[in-house]
Amino acid sequence: MPQWTVARDDVGIRLDKYLAAPDRLGSRARAVDALARGKIFLNGREAASSDAGTRLAAADVVRVWMDRPGSARRRVALGDARDLPIVYEDDHLLVLNKPAGVLAVPLPPDRRDSARSVFDDVKMYLSTRRRGRPRVVHRIDRDTSGLVVFALTALAQEQLKEQFSRRRPQREYLAVVHGHPSPAEGEWRDHIVWDTKALIQKPAEARQPGAKEAISRYRVVERLAGAALIEVALVTGRQNQIRVQAGLHGHPLVGEQRYVTPDHRGPAIAFPRQALHAHRLAFAHPVERRALRFEAPVPDDLAALIARLRRRR
- Contact partners, residue 67, CB within 8 Å, separation at least 6: none
CA distance 292 to 92: 13
Specify the 3-state DSSP secondary structure of 278. Answer: strand
The C-alpha atoms of residue 139 and residue 195 are separated, in whole angstroms, by: 19
SS3 of 165-219: the string is HCCCCEEEEEEEEECCCCCCEEEEEEEEEEECCCCEEEECCCCCCCCEEEEEEEE
φ, ψ for residue 102 (rounded to 5)? Answer: -115, 130
Task: Identify the active-site residue in 16, 60, 141, 190.
Answer: 141
How far apart, in whole angstroms, are the C-alpha atoms of residue 48 and residue 51?
A: 5
Which whole-number Å values give the CA distances from 261 to 12, 32, 122, 264, 265, in the listed order?
Answer: 27, 31, 37, 6, 9
Q: Is 141 a catalytic residue?
A: yes
How far is Cα 86 from Cα 93, in angstroms, rounded to an integer? Answer: 11
The catalytic site residues sit at 141
